[in-house]
Amino acid sequence: MKRVAILISGGGSNMLALVQDMTGDHPARPVLVASNDPAAGGLAKARALGIPTAAVDHRAYPDRQAFETALAAQIDAAQPDILCLAGFMRILTPGFIRRYQGRMLNIHPSLLPKYPGLHTHARALAAGDDQAGCTVHEVTEDLDAGPILGQARVRVLPGDTQDTLAARVLTHEHRLYPAVLRRFATGDRTPLTLD
């Protein structure tokens, strides 16, 4: 059984989707939900589900290195095989990434390689794209640019705002990330496309 640690910064809706899928014959189970924000709503959701949690407040550390050392200590104590970044909003240093590279996934709300970084939906709308979506990828030192493990495409509808588009993409994230994790946990890195 693979052990999965999930890193969040906010509400943790993707974390919840992953946790709710890790049952029965799923080859993985959640062993930790950690956040850089002690007030992250997802921590309460994880606690309510009986999942061990950790809050490492990045504002309590003098620099990024000290924060990541404290975070890695909490992660390593849970002995995860896989790390899932799920709405985790801190940029990680190359040192931290090297520690977990090859077993660390992230979900990004665009069809990478389009729109790495922030405000992805606003950028897709501004470009007049007729498609948007989300991508699960392996985390490497290049931000939002690691090997793609899965994508879900979403039609942009007339009158879409960044909020309506974000909400529609989010429902696809909740399908894509669990499907990719199931596959990844068996050692299969074949990219998955959901339409």
* Contacts with ligand GRF, residue ranges (CB under 6 A): 8, 10-15, 86-87, 107, 109, 134, 170, 173
Tokens of 170: 């989010």
Of 31 and 135, the one with the shorter C-beta distance to ligand GRF is: 135
User: What is the b/e burial string over 142-179, where b = at least 16 CB atoms within 10 angstroms of the residue's CB?
Assistant: eebebebbbbbebebeeebebeebbebbbebbbebbbb
What are residue 185's phi and psi, to 5 degrees? -65, -20
Of 69 and 166, the one with the shorter C-beta distance to ligand GRF is: 166
Q: From the CB of 12, what's the least distance to ligand GRF, in Å? A: 5
Q: From the CB of 107, what's the least distance to ligand GRF, in Å? A: 5
Of 82 and 107, the one with the shorter C-beta distance to ligand GRF is: 107
d(CA 156, CA 168): 9
Of 87 and 150, the one with the shorter C-beta distance to ligand GRF is: 87
d(CA 30, CA 83): 10
Q: What residue is closest to ligand GRF based on CB?
A: 87
Residues taking part in catalysis:
108
Q: From the CB of 39, what's the least distance to ligand GRF, in Å? A: 13
Task: Assess contact for 53 and 33: CB atoms under 8 A.
Answer: yes
Q: From the CB of 14, what's the least distance to ligand GRF, in Å? A: 3
What are residue 172's phi and psi, to 5 degrees? -75, -30
